[in-house]
């Protein structure tokens, strides 16, 4: 088959792939630094995953808790990440997020307010103080709206419904990208002096997920193919509360803000079970009983200070997910295989005001009024802590000119992300990466050379499934892939399952190589899926290999055959996967970046 037309060509100094919070913030910064910026997204502008973010953006503004500080935010992030975080990233994030949130407000974001008119902050799991700036439970929408207005006003050229399928590299690093318009199938080539990947996560590798169709690991896979390293891919976050019923919405997120506002978890026999699961070394941070937890909730809802400690439901996500999973597995689950989450004991108008989306979501989708009764919830694949290895200061990967920010990048969150720390990560590292990429582009005097052989190869790969007259259905392969990951590389892992998963993934890749799709190039979802499926196979293999290699349990990675955290062997090692010269996935470990003595002091100060 011949291509419908020759590829279009659109050169830019900086090409940003992904228009979520990270991509938009990076594009704005690069433009501000004087670069000519192109911004590509495979859905419509405003539809990126960031728009779904509900609970809030974490920043130590200290508006509700005057005692809060960047040091405490840093410590919470490191403790939540089981100290596997890149300490410099965690430091920059904690120090810079208040300024990034204030800047968002200056650009027009309208946050919920304290009584004296400052940005209101709500509590979230693992945060020592109420820290999440929010707009009801629609924070991501406000963030995207604000950043998008700013980006468009800055004159950034936007390419919507355009999928990037390959990065072009040469002796000097990255020199552009190739993609196609989903609307017409026409190919497009972007010569670029610097490329920023901001494509989000990998949730579609699993059956039950809060993530949308866009989360197919494209950026991780593009970077891997171009020679970048992926770190800590075993750390996939299962959010404790997704909807479990009805089947069509299984996995849809129930925001942590429900627990932040006082939601109580109970099993089918009415037991408030989270007290059983608090880690011994952190138990003193949580309320000792229901009376103390209720005092804490009352004070929070009235915006008052209290000496009461937070409820056990606000333990970290990895811990709450494992607790729910265990309750269900041991026979104390609800009829639909979850547990109950109840906020209906609070006044109905308070619940409707603080959680309007949740109220609507349960009413519309499950016919449950959350002001009158409990929700049924269970764990759902939500976020990937691992990702492309980047330099903390600039976001550059080991491939010169290739940068990454947001969920696609690794290092910031270690073994487990705290809620709210993603939106702030997007802002802090989006801005840093935009600046880094613009500086790199400014240093490139000539025009980028786009190797025509690589372009032709990218177009041939795209064309192949349309050319075959018989072969595998990509939807069937995707279903099988999700089943493998859900069953064998899920919340609890064991070596035998991981070995089996790797065998099955290899067989799926073979099948993928013979996919065949009918129809043409215009808005053809089956054809679009073939490319995404290849990426899902790459990231799934990276998750399974990394999970097999890490013979301990830490954060979101729980090995039944290695239940203990092994600090001696694993406490300061990142898992790394990279492509070897024969195109095979290799796996190894590298030491964690060193922590300065000052930062070490900050980390230990609270203990
Ligand atoms: C339901 C839900 C609620 C959440 N709530 C919160 C919260 O309250 N607080 C918090 O901190 N975090 C929250 N998170 C996590 C947070 O929303 C995400 O981690 C974050 O938004 C990711 O932003 P991003 O910019 O990295 O990627 P995204 O916002 O997902 O943007 C990715 C962009 O990349 C584009 N793209 C992908 N592949 C390609 C390709 N091949 N070619 C071209 N474009 C491509 C997409 O079209 C999209 O524009 C939530 C997540 C979910 C699912």
> Three-state secondary structure along 96-158?
HHHHHHHHHHHCCCCCCECCCCCECEECCCCCCCCCEECCCCCHHHHHHHHHHHHHHHCCCEE
pLDDT confidence band for 137 (50 / 70 / 90): confident
pLDDT in tens, 585-594: 999 999 999 9
pLDDT at 54: 87
Average pLDDT, the chain: 95
Least confident of 37-41, 246-250, 382-386: 246-250
Does 449 have pLDDT greater than 60?
A: yes
Measured CA to CA, the distance from residue 80 to residue 421 in angstroms comes to: 11
Task: Please say whether the beta carbons of 134 and 257 come within 8 A.
Answer: yes
Residue 334 CA, ligand 1 centroid: distance in Å:
31
Q: Whose CA is nearest to atom 9 of ligand 1?
A: 420
Q: How far is the CA of 53 from the centre of ligand 1 (A)?
A: 8
Active site residue ranges: 239, 259
- Edge-to-edge strand list for the sheet holding 121-122: 57-58, 132-133, 121-122
The stretches of 406-494 forming alpha helices (DSSP H) are 421-442, 452-467, 474-488
How many whole angstroms from 386 Cα to the centroid of ligand 1?
Answer: 14
pLDDT value at residue 271: 97
Taking CA atoms only, the protein residue closest to ligand 1 atom 10 is: 420
Q: Which residues have CB under 6 Å of ligand 1?
A: 17-23, 40-43, 48-50, 52-57, 139-140, 163-164, 198-200, 210-211, 214, 218, 253, 383, 406-408, 419-423, 426
Banded model confidence at residue 2, pLDDT cuts 50, 70, 90: very low
Residue 602 near residue 71 (C-beta atoms within 8 A):
yes
Cβ-in-10-Å burial (0-12, 13-18, 19+) of 326 comes to middle
Would you list the DSSP string of 29-89?
HHHHTT--EEEE-SS-TT-SGGGG--S-EE----SS-TT--HHHHHHHHHHHTTT-S-HHH
381-410 mean pLDDT: 98
Residue nearest ligand 1's atom 13 by CA: 53
Ligand 1, atom 3, lies closest to the CA of: 53
Q: How far is the CA of 95 from the centre of ligand 1 (A)?
A: 23
Share of the chain above pLDDT 70, in %: 99
| Candidate of 104, 192, 200 to mutate for ligand 1, largest count of ligand atoms within 8 Å of Cβ | 200
Q: 189-219: per-residue pLDDT in tens?
A: 999 999 999 999 999 999 999 999 999 999 9
pLDDT tens digits, one per residue of 249-275: 999 999 989 999 999 999 999 999 999
In this prediction, residue 282 carries a pLDDT of 87
What pairing do the DSSP bridges indicate for beta strands 492-493 and 558-559? Answer: parallel
User: Looking at residue 338, what is its pLDDT?
Assistant: 95
| Nearest atom of ligand 1 to the alpha carbon of 408 | 26
Q: What is the mean pLDDT of residues 239-244?
A: 95
- Out of 122, 199, 201, 365, give the residue to mutate to test ligand 1, the one with the largest number of ligand atoms within 8 Å of its CB: 199
Provide the pLDDT confidence category of residue 1 given band limits of 50, 70 and 90: very low
- Which atom of ligand 1 is least distant from the CA of 58? 11
Please write the tens of the pLDDT for every residue from 362-377. Answer: 999 999 999 999 999 9
Choose which residue among 76, 133, 422 to substitute to test ligand 1 binding: the one with the highest number of ligand atoms within 8 A of its C-beta.
Answer: 422
Residue 515 has pLDDT above 50, yes or no: yes
- pLDDT above 70 (res 443): yes
> Whose CA is closest to atom 4 on ligand 1?
53
pLDDT digits (tens, 9 = 90+) for 417-436: 999 999 999 999 999 999 99
pLDDT tens profile 43-66: 999 999 999 998 899 999 999 999
Rounded to the nearest angstrom, the distance between the alpha carbon of 306 and the centre of ligand 1 is 35
| pTM across the whole model | 0.95
Condensed to tens digits (0 to 9), the pLDDT of residues 279-327 reads: 998 899 999 999 999 999 999 888 788 999 999 999 988 899 999 999 9
**pLDDT of 68 above 90:** yes
- Cis preceding-peptide flag for 40 (omega within 30 of 0): no
Give Cα 171 distance to the centre of its chain: 32
| Residue bearing the CA closest to ligand 1, atom 31 | 20
d(CA 219, CA 217): 6
* Residue in this structure with the two tokens 């138990």, named with its chain if needed: 283
pLDDT above 90: percentage of residues in the chain: 94
> Mean pLDDT throughout 242-246?
94
Give CA separation, 579 vs 22, 321, 404, 511, in Å. 26, 33, 18, 21
Residue 5 CA to ligand 1 center (angstroms) comes to 32
DSSP symbol at 409? B
């Amino acid at each position: 088959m011949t291509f419908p037309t020759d590829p279009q060509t659109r050169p830019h100094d900086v090409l940003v792939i992904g228009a979520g919070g990270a991509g938009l913030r990076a594009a704005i910064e690069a433009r501000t630094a004087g670069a000519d910026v192109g911004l590509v997204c495979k859905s419509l502008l405003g539809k990126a995953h960031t728009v779904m973010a509900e609970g809030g953006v974490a920043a130590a503004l200290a508006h509700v808790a005057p005692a809060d500080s960047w040091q405490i935010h840093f410590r919470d992030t490191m403790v939540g990440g089981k100290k596997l975080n890149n300490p410099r990233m965690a430091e920059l994030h904690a120090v810079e997020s208040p300024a990034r949130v204030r800047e968002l407000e200056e650009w027009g974001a309208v946050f919920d307010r304290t009584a004296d008119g400052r940005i209101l902050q709500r509590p979230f799991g693992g945060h020592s103080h109420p820290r999440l700036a929010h707009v009801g439970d629609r924070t991501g929408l406000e963030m995207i709206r604000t950043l998008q207005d700013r980006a468009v006003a800055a004159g950034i050229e936007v390419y919507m419904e355009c999928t990037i399928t390959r990065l072009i590299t040469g002796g000097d690093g990255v020199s552009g990208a190739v993609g196609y318009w989903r609307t017409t199938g026409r190919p497009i080539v972007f010569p670029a002096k610097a490329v920023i990947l901001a494509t989000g996560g990998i949730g579609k590798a699993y059956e039950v997920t809060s993530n949308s169709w866009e989360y197919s690991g494209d950026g991780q896979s593009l970077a891997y193919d171009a020679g970048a390293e992926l770190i800590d891919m075993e750390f996939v976050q299962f959010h404790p509360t997704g909807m479990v019923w009805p089947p069509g919405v299984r996995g849809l997120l129930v925001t942590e803000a429900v627990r932040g506002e006082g939601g109580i978890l109970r099993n089918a026999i009415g037991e408030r079970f989270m007290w059983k699961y608090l880690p011994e070394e952190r138990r003193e941070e949580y309320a000792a009983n229901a009376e103390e937890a209720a005092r804490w909730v009352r004070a929070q809802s009235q915006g008052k200070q209290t000496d009461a400690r937070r409820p056990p439901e606000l333990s970290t996500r990895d811990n709450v997910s494992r607790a729910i999973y265990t309750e269900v597995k041991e026979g104390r689950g609800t009829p639909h295989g979850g547990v109950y989450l109840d906020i209906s004991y609070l006044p109905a108008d308070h619940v409707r005001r603080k959680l309007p989306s949740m109220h609507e979501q349960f009413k519309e989708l499950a016919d449950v009024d959350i002001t009158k009764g409990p929700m049924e919830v269970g764990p759902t694949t939500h976020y990937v802590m691992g990702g492309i290895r980047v330099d903390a200061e600039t976001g550059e990967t080991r491939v010169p000119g290739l940068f990454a920010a947001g969920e696609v990048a690794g290092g910031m969150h270690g073994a487990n992300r705290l809620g709210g720390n993603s939106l702030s990560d997007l802002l802090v590292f989006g801005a840093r990466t935009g600046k880094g990429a613009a500086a790199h582009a400014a240093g490139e005097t000539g025009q980028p050379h786009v190797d025509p052989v690589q372009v032709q190869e990218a177009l041939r790969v795209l064309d192949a499934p349309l050319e075959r007259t018989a072969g595998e259905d990509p939807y069937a392969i995707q279903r099988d892939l999700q089943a493998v990951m859900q069953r064998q590389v899920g919340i609890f892992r064991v070596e035998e399952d991981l070995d089996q998963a790797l065998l099955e993934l290899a067989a799926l890749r073979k099948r993928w190589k013979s996919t065949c799709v009918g129809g043409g190039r215009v808005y053809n979802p089956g054809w679009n899926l073939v490319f995404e499926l290849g990426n899902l196979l790459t990231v799934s293999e990276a998750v399974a290999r990394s999970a097999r290699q890490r013979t301990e349990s830490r954060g979101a990675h729980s090995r039944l055959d290695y239940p203990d955290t092994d600090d001696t062997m694993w406490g300061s090692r990142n898992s790394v996967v990279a492509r070897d010269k024969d195109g095979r996935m290799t796996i190894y470990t590298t030491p964690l970046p060193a922590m300065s003595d000052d930062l070490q002091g900050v980390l230990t100060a609270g203990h």
